[in-house]
Structure 1
Amino acid sequence: MQTEQAREVPVVAGLGSWLPPRVVRNEELAQRLDTSDEWIRTRTGIAERRIAGDGIATIRMAIEAGSRALRSASAQTVDALVLATSTPDQLCPASAPQVATGLGFNGIPAFDVNAVCSGFLYGLASGGGLISSGMAQRVLVIGADTFSTLINPDDRTTMPIFGDGAGAVVLRAGRPDELGALGPIDLHSDGDQAGLLFVPAGGAQQRVDGVPMEAGDYFLAMKGAETFYLAYSRMAESARTVLDRAGWTVADVDRFVGHQANARILYTVAKQLGVPEEKVAVNVDRVGNTVAASIPLALADSARDGTLRTGDRVLLSAFGAGLTWGAAVLRWPDLRVC
């Protein structure tokens, strides 16, 4: 049994990201939807997003991001793989074992975590738990979603919001005082509010009930106004919790990396917390809402552009369908993003 002095914690050791090559700009959507570039930008802050296709789906994107994270960490092997996704390539089986095999890790434990837009934080907690328990020394945590496949292409409300992509981190066992060591993680859910964001058709309940479904029932249904309020209030509440547990104040935060749902939510959360806008990581304008891939993609972009530096105190927070939400903190390590 590990003693308190010898207790190992999960440490971020590598970071990789990958986006599908197809870029869809607002002007393209405006050509076929009752919308405009100005309307989309004003309400979401999004100018363009990446859309998968041509044989590219969740497993392919996860393998691409995972391989880059491994290269970033100079890691040849991992002991386990956690895939955060709400869009597996098939309903059954889970996609994580195929991702592991695709990376050359056939035989390791690999499993999916579905917490939608909070999925990456749930994945960090799951992968970190394997390390803290002593079951693993190194874990690959991937967030990947092809959420565009769940969006009605004729819906001007949801179609501009979502994009596809994948981001991944390698966690290794290390000391609590190391840069990159994960601090407190706070996670929550509320199933009473599941109807705010959901896909009505395609699951077991529909099959059991045998209820005929319309074509549109296979796409995401969203109540935007109610979701907006809950998103910023829950994200801010969870962020305060982890800051308190870590012994940090808001002034200690160097970079706030929130789930990139839309720019208005990000800045509202920051305002609720008292985080200056210049400390808020924003890449939603270029990639849209990439669901479980959102936070690792934003981390990667911030590290590449120099706004996230070694030693920075980083606050993560997310909110998604389920409902699920949570937050985490860490001090940023010295690593090369791939």
Structure 2
Amino acid sequence: MPGRSPETRRGAVVAGLGSYVPPRALTNAELCGNRPVGDEWIRTRIGVASRRVADGEATVDLAVRAGRGALEAAGAGGADALVLTTISPDRLVPAGAPEVAARLGCGTIPAFDLASGCSGFLYGLGVASSMIVSGAFDSVLLVASDVFSAFVDPDDWLMAAIFGDGAGAVLLRAGDTDEPGALGPVDLGTDGAQADLLEVPGDGARARKRTLAAPGAEFSPYFRMDGPAVRKQAIVGMCDSVTRAVQQAGWSLGELDAVVAHQANQRILDGLAAELGLDPGRMLSHIEAYGNTATASVPVLLAQATAAGALRPGMRVALTAYGAGLAWGSATLVWPDVRAVTDDG
């Protein structure tokens, strides 16, 4: 960028944030009905009191509203490229990102989808940052959107208790690595040997081929996971990833002012704070009111915390997520003086 000193390097800087959650709040009481296990159990074991559920809206619809908020917050009319991260695409083909770009009035810019489980937003940050640092683009709109309620078995009340729908977005612009809002190195990793711990086994090529080979064979279109097997790994995995990202930033864990982690489960968030040796108050959370919004949980929380003043300029912040793949990611930044446009339905 013009005016950069010899000591600084080109970086990707947070310029604006947006979020959208559907208006319908599904409470524990409504979800559980007359079941003996109800509100108190869900609050205690998962930390969720209600979650937002999309009625008549799809993943792209939510993405457009969050993306528009991020552009408005940044005072930008568009972006040079758009990345959509999701694990609940509206269609297998085509990708949803070009439609999001068109509906936002961004024209024929490069736009593509990225799928990496609930860590997709962190992977998206790594990809979008690289696109800017390389000099190929001056701005990238990164949107994370999930209508994961569409992939939850309606007869599985426990899965329905965990997940909610929502979308979050961030506009990244070219800037200097030493200015507030510049992303530090992004720590990413996977363990594909445990891919079957969290999955939607139906609708893909593997399931379709099996059905063709054995007509009448059944496959599930719904999400399933081995919760106990994932829980401990998620805590340790995010702790290790955050530690690496913080070290690459030249910080210590004690210098962190806030951690924004994937809102998987309040017990996981509490365990992560303990593992990192941080006061629980530094671990931001909105899972009680919104549940686990999958890929969107980190950017939705970022936008809401910014709008509410919980994230303030100058704070040292770590972002982290862990999910299907298995895949994980973390990043750091000094929080900038930035706007967020939030739409709570």
Establish whether TM, by shorter chain, passes 0.5: yes
SS of alignment partner, residue 157 of structure 1: helix
**Deviations 1:113-151 (CA, angstroms, capped at 9, x unpaired):** 101210100111111111011110011000100111110
1:152 paired with 2:165, answer no
Distance in structure 2 (CA, Å) of the matches to 1:113 and 1:307: 29
- Alpha-carbon distance, 1:214 to partner: 3.6
The residue type equivalent to 1:220 in the other structure is: F
- The equivalent of 1:95 in structure 2 is 96
Aligned 1:241-280 pairs, distance under 5 A: 241-280=244-283
Deviation at 1:306, TM superposition (A): 1.9
1:109 matched residue in structure 2: 110
Alignment pair present for 1:235 and 2:207: no
Shift of 1:17: 0.4
Partner of 1:20: 22
How large is the RMSD of aligned CA atoms in angstroms? 1.6
Deviation digits for residues 276-327 of structure 1, max 9, x if unmatched? Answer: 1111101011111001110011112222222211110001110010111011
- List alignment gaps of at least 5 residues for structure 1: none
- Please state how far the C-alpha of 1:3 moved relative to its aligned partner: 10
Structure 2 counterpart of 1:331 = 334
**TM-score, normalised by the number of residues in structure 1:** 0.96
1:283 to 274, 282, 286: 286
Describe the superposition over 1:86-122 as per-residue Cα deviations: whole angstroms up to 9, x where unpaired.
1111111110000000101121000001012101001
Tell me how far apart the structure 2 counterparts of residues 3 and 145 of structure 1 sit (CA, whole Å).
Answer: 41
Task: For 2:97 and 2:75, locate their aligned partners in 1 and report how far apart those are by CA, in whole Å.
Answer: 21
Give the match's secondary structure for 2:142. strand
The answer for unaligned runs of 5 or more in structure 2 is none
The 1-side partners of 2:35 and 2:150 are apart by 17
Question: Corresponding residue for 1:31?
Answer: 33
- Distance of 2:8 and 2:260 partners within structure 1: 31
- Structure 2 length-normalised TM: 0.94
Distance across 2 between alignment mates of 1:335 and 1:242: 22
Aligned to 1:74: 75
Q: Please report how far the alpha carbon of residue 213 of structure 1 lies from its aligned counterpart in structure 2 after TM superposition.
A: 4.6
Matched, 1:135 2:136: yes
- Is this contact kept in 2: 1:29–1:35, CA < 8 A? no
CA drift of 1:34 comes to: 5.5
Partner of 2:195: 194
AA matched with 1:161:
I
Q: CA deviation at 1:234?
A: 0.3
How far off is 1:4 after superposition?
6.9
2:64 is aligned to: 63
In 2 relative to 1, CA 205–3 (structure 1 residues): closer, same or farther, beyond 3 Å? farther
Kept in 2, the 8 Å contact 1:145–1:164? The answer is yes
Letter in 2 for 1:102: R
Cα offset for 1:7?
Answer: 3.1
Q: 1:4–1:326: structure 2 CA closer, same or farther, 3 Å change rule?
A: farther
Indicate which of 28, 35, 46 corresponds to 2:48.
46
- What secondary structure is seen at the aligned counterpart in 1 of 2:264? coil
TM-fit CA distance, 1:30:
1.2
Distance 2:117 2:229 in 1: 17
> Does the alignment pair 1:297 with 2:306?
no
CA distance in 2, matches of 1:299, 1:105: 24
Residues 1:225 and 2:228 are matched in the alignment? yes
Which position in structure 2 is the counterpart of 1:177? 178
Question: 1:45 is aligned with what amino acid?
Answer: G
Note if contact 1:33-1:156 (Cα within 8 Å) is conserved in structure 2.
no
C-alpha distance in 1 between matches for 2:84 and 2:6: 30
1:145, 1:334 → 2: CA distance? 28
Structure 1 consecutive aligned stretches of length 4 or more whose deviation exceeds 2 Å: 2-7, 32-35, 209-215
Aligned to 1:310: 313
